[in-house]
């Protein structure tokens, strides 16, 4: 048995969550429903305009790893924060959830701060994310510990992490160490505009290295530059052994070895959509690494996603294991 079921690599973030309406988004120049990268000046300006906020640890892959840890999975995370107060919050919350986390801190005198994401939640539950990457942009190959990657059944790579100077090298090092020890590689496309920025690099990685691809509808359409979901799914399935594509309230599509399953979404009142995809991946990967059938893994993903969108914040709050039992998948 490998030490870890899943080791995630991504952008380490503290989320700054506030409510806003569509008028505010328009006036503040925030694009709705997507992730937009901002610099520190814009971060300060935008933060000065938003209402009272809550600070909750986030980061896409970190949310996934937190979910797997909450489920009792053996898991670890790699992502960079600084030796500052937000960095301490991020590290505490992940470890307190039961995940291993040992990425070296950027020093106190680093010019950037710990990354943060100003998440504006509109009354429809949609989230518009404004990400200041800070030190997390500078995750380097030296932060990747090969022994840890070799100890993982799966590594889970966050597409957002492609936004950084040394990220491709860091991912390549992680993939080589993991695959060299018989492990497998999963990737989430993260965001349609992230796919736009890095389509060629994503595509090479998908073809050459990825065993499991996570995407939502917009991301997979962007990846394969089509408006036709069926075409995009077919292309992905031809390139990757296992594809899990979410489609919001329409549930998820699982494709593998010429077979295909549709899993319905779990209805809930959407309070804050932040983390839906992250927790889908958590439920799916936990199921997969515990030997469950693919449609059951998909159900677990949908249940975990429905929990996280029922409250503010992208980390699960309810006991996911009990929810799996309640829904009859355990």
Q: Choose, by CB under 8 A, the member of 7, 9, 66, 233 that binds a copy of itself.
A: 66
- CA–CA separation, 314 and 110 (whole Å): 27
Q: Does residue 64 belong to the site contacting a copy of itself (CB under 8 A)?
A: no
- CA–CA separation, 160 and 194 (whole Å): 6
Least distance from C-beta 323 to a copy of itself, angstroms? 17
Least distance from C-beta 97 to a copy of itself, angstroms? 5
State both tokens at 89. Answer: 């919050």
Q: Does residue 169 belong to the site contacting a copy of itself (CB under 8 A)?
A: no
Least distance from C-beta 309 to a copy of itself, angstroms? 17
Residue 77 sits at φ, ψ, to 5 deg, of -135, 145
Residue 42: strand, helix, or coil: helix
Find residue 93's DSSP bridge partners: none
Residue 291: strand, helix, or coil: coil
Least distance from C-beta 147 to a copy of itself, angstroms? 25
Q: Does residue 85 belong to the site contacting a copy of itself (CB under 8 A)?
A: yes
Q: Does residue 54 belong to the site contacting a copy of itself (CB under 8 A)?
A: yes
CA distances from 103 to 142, 144, 166, 257 (A): 10, 8, 15, 36
Q: Does residue 52 belong to the site contacting a copy of itself (CB under 8 A)?
A: yes
Place of tokens 């991301």: 219
- CA–CA separation, 102 and 329 (whole Å): 33
- CA–CA separation, 218 and 192 (whole Å): 6
Least distance from C-beta 128 to a copy of itself, angstroms? 17
Nearer to a copy of itself, 46 or 232 (CB): 46
Q: Choose, by CB under 8 A, the member of 7, 13, 20, 56 that binds a copy of itself.
A: 56
Q: Does residue 100 belong to the site contacting a copy of itself (CB under 8 A)?
A: no
Cβ–Cβ under 8 Å, residues 41 and 131: no
Q: Does residue 318 belong to the site contacting a copy of itself (CB under 8 A)?
A: no
Least distance from C-beta 281 to a copy of itself, angstroms? 18
Q: Choose, by CB under 8 A, the member of 26, 92, 196, 197 that binds a copy of itself.
A: 92
Q: Does residue 313 belong to the site contacting a copy of itself (CB under 8 A)?
A: yes
Pairing of strands 127-132, 35-37: parallel
Nearer to a copy of itself, 52 or 182 (CB): 52
DSSP state at residue 327:
T
Q: Does residue 322 belong to the site contacting a copy of itself (CB under 8 A)?
A: no
- CA–CA separation, 257 and 85 (whole Å): 47
Q: Choose, by CB under 8 A, the member of 4, 73, 84, 115 that binds a copy of itself.
A: 84
Question: Which among 156, 118, 98, 162 is positioned nearest to 136, based on CA atoms?
Answer: 162
Q: Does residue 291 belong to the site contacting a copy of itself (CB under 8 A)?
A: no
Task: Using CB under 8 A, list all residues that contact a copy of itself.
Answer: 47-48, 50-57, 66, 84-86, 89, 92-94, 96-97, 113-114, 313, 315
């Amino acid at each position: 048995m490998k030490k870890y079921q899943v080791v995630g690599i991504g952008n380490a973030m503290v989320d700054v969550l506030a409510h806003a309406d569509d008028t505010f988004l328009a006036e503040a120049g925030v694009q709705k429903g997507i992730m937009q990268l901002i610099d520190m000046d814009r971060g300060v300006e935008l933060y000065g305009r938003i209402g009272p906020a809550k600070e909750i640890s986030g980061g896409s892959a970190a949310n996934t790893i937190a979910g797997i840890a909450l489920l009792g999975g053996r898991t670890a995370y790699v992502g960079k924060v600084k030796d500052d107060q937000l960095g301490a919050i991020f590290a505490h919350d992940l470890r307190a959830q039961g995940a291993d986390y040992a990425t070296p801190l950027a020093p106190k005198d680093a010019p950037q701060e710990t990354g943060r994401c100003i998440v504006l939640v509109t009354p429809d539950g949609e989230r518009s994310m404004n990400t200041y990457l800070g030190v997390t942009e500078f995750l380097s190959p030296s932060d990747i510990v090969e022994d840890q990657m070799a100890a993982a059944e799966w590594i889970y790579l966050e597409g957002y992490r492609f936004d950084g100077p040394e990220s491709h090298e860091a991912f390549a090092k992680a993939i080589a160490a993991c695959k060299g020890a018989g492990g497998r590689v999963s990737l989430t496309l993260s965001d349609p505009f992230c796919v736009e920025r890095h389509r060629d690099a994503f595509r090479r990685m998908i073809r050459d290295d990825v065993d499991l691809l996570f995407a939502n509808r917009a991301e997979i359409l962007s990846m394969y530059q089509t408006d036709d979901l069926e075409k995009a799914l077919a292309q992905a399935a031809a390139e990757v052994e296992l594809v899990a594509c979410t489609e919001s309230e329409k549930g998820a599509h699982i494709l593998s070895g010429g077979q295909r399953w549709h899993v319905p979404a779990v209805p809930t009142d959407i309070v804050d959509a932040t983390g839906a995809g992250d927790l889908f991946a958590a439920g799916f990967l936990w199921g997969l690494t515990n030997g469950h059938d693919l449609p059951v893994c998909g159900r677990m993903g949908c249940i975990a996603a429905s929990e996280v969108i029922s409250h503010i914040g992208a980390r699960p709050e309810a006991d996911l294991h009990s929810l799996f039992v309640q829904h009859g998948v355990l």
